[in-house]
Amino acid sequence: MKKLIIANLKMNFSKDEMIEYVDEIRNKISNTLDLVICPSSVYIYMFEKAGYNIGSQNAYYLGKGPFTGEISPIQLKSLGVSHVIIGHSERRNNFDETDILIGKKLAACLKENIKPILCIGETLNQKQCRKTAEVLKNQLLVAFKDIPKDEMYDVIVAYEPVWAIGSGKIPEVKDIQDAAIFIKDVIRKKYDIEIKVLYGGSVDKSNIEKINNIMELDGLLIGSSSLNASYFVEMLDLID
């Protein structure tokens, strides 16, 4: 099965820089990978025109109305968006997103047939207190509380330890593997289905091969290392 690669460009690039980026990666990424690019919403049209799979970095949970500054899954769908990152730790921490709000966003995306990528992960303190499993289970069960089984098939979970994001540090391979097995088990026990699990947090050229070799993972969520077009292309060549 093709590995799913999510590039989270976060709040980066001016318009001209983005045009250059699209140009630089065009036709250079192997089609043995399933690549989804998540630019700032203002640049989604550029990726739509260039024929990429597009993801959004966020979505609101209502369809339309007086919610200044928000973007709905219906609007995203009309722009050709197929995936939405939900509950990234930067949104949990900087915008006070709770597991309950995240659950509503998941439900709203699924209703529009958009695949949500739910980000979960422990902080350094939680890791040191050996609470990783408890934290992951809680984040999963609260977020999926109101999602019916027949909608769960489209769900993707990204295991992103908060302390690994943008830090240059990654967990031991065994810890990533254990987390992926654990997440799949929690979902299997509750819903009796198999979901895709990705890893995200400081993936770069030096570690992508060993992380990609973890059998239990279905793909990667890449932040900083996707920002430089030539670096990104070279890095993905390593797992082609």
* Segment contacting ligand PGA by CB under 6 A, of 63-71, 72-80, 176-184, 196-204: 196-204
- Among candidate residues 90, 97, 151, 160, the one labeled active-site is 160
Residues 155-174 that bind ligand PGA (CB under 6 A): 160, 165-166
Kindly state the smallest distance separating residue 79's Cβ from ligand PGA, in Å.
Answer: 21
* Rounded CA separation 113/2 (Å): 21
- Among candidate residues 83, 88, 97, 122, the one labeled active-site is 88
Q: What is 45-103 written as a DSSP string?
A: HHHHHTT-EEEES---SSSSSS-TT---HHHHHHTTEEEEEES-HHHHHHS---HHHHH
Q: Which of 203, 235, 239 is nearest to 220 (CA)?
A: 203
* Nearest-CB residue for ligand PGA: 223
Which DSSP symbol is given to 158?
A: E
- Map tokens 């295991």 to a residue: 159
Query: Which of 201, 214, 218, 236 touches ligand PGA by CB under 6 A?
Result: 201
The encoded tokens of residue 186 equal 């929690």
User: Which of 11/130 has CB closer to ligand PGA?
Assistant: 11
User: Which of 155/191 has CB closer to ligand PGA?
Assistant: 155
The reply to whether 236 sits near ligand PGA by the rule CB under 6 A is no
Kindly state the smallest distance separating residue 32's Cβ from ligand PGA, in Å.
Answer: 21
Query: Cα 169 to chain center, whole Å?
Result: 18
Query: Which of 46, 101, 197, 203 touches ligand PGA by CB under 6 A?
Result: 203
Q: Would residue 216 show up in a list of annotated catalytic residues for this protein?
A: no
The reply to whether 8 sits near ligand PGA by the rule CB under 6 A is yes
* Rounded CA separation 103/15 (Å): 33
Residues 205-234 that bind ligand PGA (CB under 6 A): 221-225
Q: Would residue 160 show up in a list of annotated catalytic residues for this protein?
A: yes
* Type and span of the H or E element at 6: strand 3-8
User: Which of 103/201 has CB closer to ligand PGA?
Assistant: 201
Establish how many alpha carbons lie within 13 A of residue 230's alpha carbon, considering only the half-sphere containing its beta carbon: 0
* Rounded CA separation 45/215 (Å): 35
The reply to whether 179 sits near ligand PGA by the rule CB under 6 A is no
The reply to whether 120 sits near ligand PGA by the rule CB under 6 A is no
Q: List residues near ligand PGA by CB under 6 A.
A: 8, 160, 165-166, 200-203, 221-225
State the catalytic residues.
88, 160
